[in-house]
Amino acid sequence: MIVFTGAWICDPRSGVVGERDLLVDGRVIKDIGAPGCFRSLAGAIVVDARGKWIVPGLVDVHVHLREPGFEWKETIETGAEAAAWGGFTTILCMPNTKPVNDHAEISRFIIERANGLGGARVLPIGAVSMGLEGKELALLAEQREAGCVAFSDDGEPIYNAGMMRRALEWSKMLGVPICCHEEDKTLSCGGCMNESALSLRMGLRGMPKVAEEVMIARDIELARTTGAHVHICHVSSGRGVELIRRAKNDQIHITAEVAPHHLVLTEESVRGYDTNAKMSPPLREQFECDALIAGLADGTIDCVASDHAPHHWDAKEVEFDKAAFGILGVQTTLPIMLELVRGGRVPRERAIDAMSSAPAKAFGLEGTGSLAPGARADICIIDPSKEWRLSKETILSKSRNTPFLDHDFTGQAETVLVEGSFRKGAPQSADAPGNTPGGRAPGGQEASAKETEANARKQDARKQGTAKQSARNGTNLQGSVL
Catalytic positions, written as ranges: 307
Residue whose CB is less far from Zn ion, 152 or 459: 152
Smallest distance, Zn ion to C-beta of residue 15, A: 33
Catalogue the long-range contacts made by 475-480 (C-beta closer than 8 Å, 24 or more residues apart). 475/115, 476/115, 476/419, 477/114, 477/115, 477/116, 477/117, 477/121, 477/418, 477/419, 477/421, 478/27, 478/418, 478/419, 478/420, 478/421, 480/115, 480/116
Footprint on residues 113-152 left by Zn ion (CB under 5 A): none
Q: Which residue is nearest to Zn ion (CB)?
A: 181
Residue with Cβ nearer Zn ion (181 or 398): 181
Cβ proximity to Zn ion, 236 vs 455, nearer residue: 236
* Beta carbons within 10 angstroms of residue 466's beta carbon: 11
Residue 401 or 452 having the CB closest to Zn ion: 401
Q: How many residues does the chain have?
A: 482
Nearer to Zn ion among residue 13 and residue 262 (C-beta): 262
- State in angstroms the smallest separation of the CB of 87 from Zn ion: 22
CB of residue 79 to Zn ion, shortest distance in Å: 16
Footprint on residues 258-277 left by Zn ion (CB under 5 A): none
Cβ distance 168 to 230 under 8 Å? yes
- Residue 257 as a binder of Zn ion (CB under 5 A): the answer is no
Q: How far is the CB of 70 from Zn ion (least distance, A)?
A: 16
Work out which of 103, 181, 209, 424 binds Zn ion, going by CB under 5 A: 181
Binders of Zn ion in range 346-385 (CB under 5 A):
none
Q: Closer CB to Zn ion, residue 215 or residue 247?
A: 215
By CB under 5 A, residue 154 contacts Zn ion: yes
Given the complex with Zn ion, which of 154 and 460 has the nearer CB atom?
154
**Nearest distance from residue 128's CB to Zn ion, in Å?**
13
Of the candidate spans 121-129, 154-162, 264-272, 401-409, the one that interacts with Zn ion by CB under 5 A turns out to be 154-162
Least distance in Å: CB of 234 to Zn ion? 6
* Residues pairing with 91 in the sheet: 60, 122
Shortest gap between Cβ of 154 and Zn ion (angstroms)? 4
Region from 35-43, 126-134, 161-169, 175-183 binding Zn ion, contact rule CB under 5 A? 175-183
**Minimum distance from residue 135 beta carbon to Zn ion (Å):** 19
**154 or 285: CB nearest Zn ion:** 154
* SS (HEC) of the chain: CEEEEEEEEEECCCCEEEEEEEEEECCEEEEEECCCCCCCCCCCEEEECCCCEEEECEEEEEECCCCCCCCCCCCHHHHHHHHHHCCEEEEEECCCCCCCCCCHHHHHHHHHHHCCCCCCEEEECECCEHHHCCCCECCHHHHHHHCCCCEECCCCCCCCHHHHHHHHHHHHHHCCCEEECCCCHHHHCCCCEECCHHHHHHCCCEECCHHHHHHHHHHHHHHHHHCCCEEECCCCCHHHHHHHHHHHHCCCCEEEEECHHHHHCCHHHHCCCCHHHCCCCCCCCHHHHHHHHHHHHCCCCCEECCCECCCCHHHCCCCHHHCCCCCCCCCCHHHHHHHHHHCCCCCHHHHHHHHCHHHHHHCCCCCCCCCCCCCECCEEEEEEEEEEECCCCCCCCCCCCCCCCCCEEEEEEEEEEECCEEEECCCHHHHCCCCCCCECCCCCCCCCHHHHHHHHHHHHHHHHHHCHHHHCCCCCCHHHCC
Regarding 423 and contact with Zn ion (CB under 5 A), the answer is: no
Give 186 or 436: the residue with its C-beta nearer to Zn ion.
186
Rg (CA), the chain: 22
Q: How many residues in the shown chain lie near Zn ion by CB under 5 A? A: 2
Q: Which among 177-185, 253-261, 340-348, 419-427 is the span making contact with Zn ion, rule CB under 5 A?
A: 177-185
CB of 233 to Zn ion, least distance (A): 5
Q: Which stretch binds Zn ion (CB under 5 A): 97-105, 119-127, 173-181, 456-464?
A: 173-181
Draw the binding track, 42-81, toward Zn ion (x: CB under 5 A; -: no contact): ----------------------------------------
Q: Which stretch binds Zn ion (CB under 5 A): 130-138, 174-182, 237-245, 269-277?
A: 174-182
Candidate segments 12-20, 179-187, 313-321, 359-367, binder of Zn ion by CB under 5 A: 179-187
Residues that bind Zn ion (CB under 5 A): 154, 181
